[in-house]
């Protein structure tokens, strides 16, 4: 997925560059971050691809305990978490221990 996003920290044409800059974070610390409010993806096609990737990660996680790397933007730059997705709502990705990541802040999903 690529895009330029509406967030001031996203200044990229290729998501690979931003993925390379992303710092790992434990899922237990996700709720300490401040997420961007506007969607980081600029086109409806990118948003549909993100939703498809999240649904696939959810299905594989629930059936096979498969984990994914979820890359997202915060006020302090890009991060990623390596985890199983427990559930999806219209606005959030739900992780273990009642942790959530706003879907609008996610710019890349990688099944590993």
Of residues 76, 108, 106, the one with CA closest to residue 93? 106
Q: Decide: 36 and 75 in contact? Cβ < 8 Å.
A: yes
- Give the pLDDT of the chain (112 residues) as one tens digit per residue: 444 444 544 544 467 789 999 999 999 999 999 998 899 998 999 999 999 999 999 999 989 989 999 999 999 999 999 999 999 999 999 998 889 999 999 999 999 8
| Fold designation for 15-111 | SH3 type barrels. (2.30.30)
- Domains of the chain: which residue ranges? 15-111
pTM value?
A: 0.87
């Amino acid at each position: 997925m690529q895009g330029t996003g509406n967030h001031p920290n996203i200044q990229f044409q290729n998501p690979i560059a931003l993925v390379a800059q992303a710092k790992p974070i434990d899922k237990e610390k996700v709720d300490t971050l401040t997420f961007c409010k506007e969607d980081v993806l600029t086109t409806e096609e990118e948003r549909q691809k993100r939703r498809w990737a999240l649904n696939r990660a959810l299905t594989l996680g629930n059936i096979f305990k498969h984990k994914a790397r979820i890359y997202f933007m915060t006020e302090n730059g890009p991060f990623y978490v390596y985890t199983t997705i427990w559930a999806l709502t219209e606005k959030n990705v739900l992780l273990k221990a009642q942790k959530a990541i706003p879907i609008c802040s996610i710019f890349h999903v990688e099944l590993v």
